[in-house]
Amino acid sequence: MNLHQFRFVQEAVRRGLNLTETARALHTSQPGVSKAILELEEELGVDVFVRHGKRLRQVTDPGQQVLRSIDIILREVANLKRIGQEYSQQDSGRLSIATTHTQARYVLPGPVGELRRLYPRVDVSLHQGTPEQVAQMLLDHRADVGLATESLSSYEELVTLPCYEWQHVIVVPEAHPLAQDPRPLSLKSLAEHPLVSYQPAFAGRRRVDEAFAAAGLQPRVALEAIDSDVIKTYVRSGLGVGVVAEMAVREAGALEGLVSRPAGHLFGINITRVAFRRGVFLRHYVHALVTLLSPQLTPAVIDAAMSPSPAGPN
């Protein structure tokens, strides 16, 4: 029994039981993967997978328990490596961050820049995706920390902490009627115009849709995008009224010909959360980044959340 066998089994499940993809991901041969898995099954005395010919079809019931043990073993092996690096290479390493476009573009530049100043020998990898992809990158050990507004708290395998709150704003050209109207914005007044906003998986779009639905309104969404700058560009071109995260209008020059109006009273408050894979040992520079993002998330708070104790927050 060895770690290579464990990795082959774990990766086979991640790759949808496709041994060709498994071998490619692990830079080895498909026959080698098949042989290693069979040898592990023989040593355990149980089948981990149901087969049809040479193809894997599904994980057996005992295989599910084997997978849980393999996951724990490989996680702890990775933790041992991180602990060694923490004490032998205290000021160096690589920090992998999984996040959405809005966080990467508007929230992370300052904290990441400060982290690099504090730890010049720590390199940063930034991976962008949907909130679901952010969660999956954490689960697949491709990221050390995740940052997103949606989805992260729904995964039992992840520890999540509230990082900061934000709300939506409306952006319109300076000459637009909504820019001139002194009255507070209403859902009814917004629904009279085509909207330009995020795709459904991003940046609190679900709250926007739910607010209109609760009011019995069905606004026309003229364009959907994942990028706030793209949304603002199309608003400038007259395509419609923009609905963006407030972070997207904070920078000097971010509006440029546009007017922003608060919309938190219409769509509520959103919470961006930071997430880690449960049970993972966190290097000190991971703690540092999170504290830079949200000062109340001190190393002690993070460690308490990561603790297996039932008294700790999740």
pLDDT digits (tens, 9 = 90+) for 102-130: 999 999 999 999 999 999 999 999 999 99
Range list for CATH 1.10.10.10 in the chain: 3-82
Q: Give me the chain's average pLDDT, please.
A: 90
DSSP string, 33-59: HHHHHHHHHHHHTS-SEEEETTEEEEE
Confidence at residue 307, expressed as pLDDT on a 0 to 100 scale: 84
pLDDT at 99 over 90: yes
Confidence at residue 204, expressed as pLDDT on a 0 to 100 scale: 84
Query: Residues 135-150: pLDDT tens digits?
Result: 999 998 899 999 998 7
Q: Is the pTM of this model over 0.85?
A: no
Supply the CATH classification number for the domain 90-162+271-306. 3.40.190.10
User: Which strands form 158-166's sheet, in the order they lie side by side?
Assistant: 121-128, 92-99, 145-148, 270-277, 158-166
Mean pLDDT of 169-178: 95
The residue assigned the tokens 């504290």 is 291
Range list for CATH 3.40.190.10 in the chain: 90-162+271-306, 168-268
pLDDT at 302 over 50: yes
Backbone dihedral angles phi then psi of residue 310, each to the nearest 5 degrees: -65, -15
- Residue 151 or 133, more confident: 133
Mean pLDDT of 165-190: 94
Q: Which of 4-13, 76-85, 185-194 has the least mean pLDDT?
A: 76-85
Confidence of residue 235 (pLDDT cuts 50, 70, 90): very high
Confidence at residue 311, expressed as pLDDT on a 0 to 100 scale: 44
Confidence of residue 1 (pLDDT cuts 50, 70, 90): confident
pLDDT at 134 over 50: yes
Domain 3-82 coded CATH 3.40.50.300: no
Backbone dihedral angles phi then psi of residue 135, each to the nearest 5 degrees: -60, -45
Tokens representing 119 are: 């730890």
Confidence of residue 86 (pLDDT cuts 50, 70, 90): low
Confidence of residue 249 (pLDDT cuts 50, 70, 90): very high
Q: How far apart are CA 188 and CA 272, in angstroms?
A: 28
Confidence at residue 84, expressed as pLDDT on a 0 to 100 scale: 74
Distances (CA, A) of 45 to 2, 7, 57, 99, 279: 15, 19, 19, 42, 29
Confidence at residue 203, expressed as pLDDT on a 0 to 100 scale: 67
Confidence at residue 276, expressed as pLDDT on a 0 to 100 scale: 95
Mean pLDDT of 63-76: 89
Confidence of residue 90 (pLDDT cuts 50, 70, 90): low
- Residue 291 or 309, more confident: 291
pLDDT at 310 over 50: no
Confidence of residue 313 (pLDDT cuts 50, 70, 90): very low
Class of the domain covering 168-268: alpha beta
Which residues contact residue 247 at a Cβ distance below 8 angstroms, ignoring those fewer than 6 apart?
Answer: 102, 106, 107, 166, 228
